[in-house]
Amino acid sequence: DPSPVVKSIRSFAPATVANLGPGFDFLGCAVDGLGDHVTASVDPLVDPGRVSISSVSKLSRNPLWNCAGIAAIEVMRMLTIRSVGVSLQLHKGLPLGSGLGSSAASAAAAAVAVNALFGSPLSQEELVLACLESEAKVSGYHADNVGPAIMGGFVLIRSYDPLEIIKLEFPANKDLFFVLVSPDFEAPTKKMRAALSPDVPMKHHIHNACQGAALVAAVLQGNVTALGLALSSDVIVEPKRAPLIPGMLAVKAAALEAGAYGCTISGAGPTAVAVIDCEEKGKEIGRRMIEAFQTEGNLKSSATVSRLDRVGARVV
């Protein structure tokens, strides 16, 4: 039962892009500039060993049904905290159901904040496990959002039982930008997972395995062109989900025509993600993608051009 080292602490966890095309449930990355904040405080009004959510908008304040609360409770359990209670303030910077790892960002920020209250004794891998308890309740037991949200950069989930995560280092001297275009449309993860077929033809399995391996190699080499080609080449998940997002097929075509190296659905969607190595070109690609969402999907959307977040969840 470690004692708190501070009375209150604030953390941030970044948005994430899961799947990256062919890497369904085993590849993901963190993106800079977007994310959630959590303030965790030792609170004498909260029963010892318990977690309370004192402030949040548009979400349940019941910690058993809130992503931040579930992850915080799991961290408290891992640390066997019995002497004090903790309250959380969750500040959402990510929209719900956007495909940018909104639930993972809340969970990661809470896990890091509560861990830091007690001197940060848990490792990143243990924090991912705590966040997985949250993901399991809201969208399924997958770490391709919470992994990069905690660890930053690109991650590969090598195994779930036991959990083993490999961080993939994108070269520091290479430029990589993500063009994230989010339409006014909600695509709940559970609904988008239900759209997937349980049976995969062998030729599609082989194709996606090749593309997943190529994407990992491209990340390690810093080859954005090859990364984009692999990102765009999913033949299992994207073909099932894209028709459920109005205009997505046209948005992808517009991104590629505008010079993007690749484009796919971010996570379960509806956000579309394109990759490029030039920020100014990324802004133009974003404008073309917005136009396609409006023209072909009758959806308003917004674009953000972000770098790779190499740090992950942290105390701020």
Per-residue confidence in pLDDT tens, the chain, 316 aa: 889 999 999 999 999 999 999 999 999 999 999 999 999 999 999 999 999 998 776 677 778 878 999 999 999 999 999 999 999 999 999 988 889 999 999 999 999 999 999 999 999 999 999 999 988 887 778 899 999 999 999 999 999 999 999 999 999 999 999 999 999 998 777 788 888 988 999 999 999 999 999 999 999 999 999 999 999 999 999 999 999 999 999 999 999 999 999 999 999 999 999 999 999 999 999 999 999 999 999 999 999 999 999 999 999 9
Nearest residue to 101 via CA among 146, 140, 61? 146
- Asked if residues 300 and 183 have their Cβ atoms less than 8 Å apart, the reply is yes
Nearest residue to 150 via CA among 171, 165, 169, 137? 165
284 given a catalytic annotation: no
Angstrom distance (rounded) from CA 243 to CA 31? 26
Which residue out of 74, 126, 133, 135 is catalytically annotated?
A: 135
Rg (CA), the chain: 19
Which residue out of 189, 264, 271, 304 is catalytically annotated?
A: 189
Domains of the chain plus CATH, in order, are: 8-170 (3.30.230.10), 177-307 (3.30.70.890)
**pTM: predicted TM-score of the whole model, two decimal places:** 0.94
135 given a catalytic annotation: yes
Q: What count of other Cβ atoms lies within 10 Å of the Cβ of residue 53?
A: 21
Angstrom distance (rounded) from CA 79 to CA 4? 11
What are the residues facing 12 on neighbouring strands? Answer: 37, 314
- Asked if residues 151 and 108 have their Cβ atoms less than 8 Å apart, the reply is no
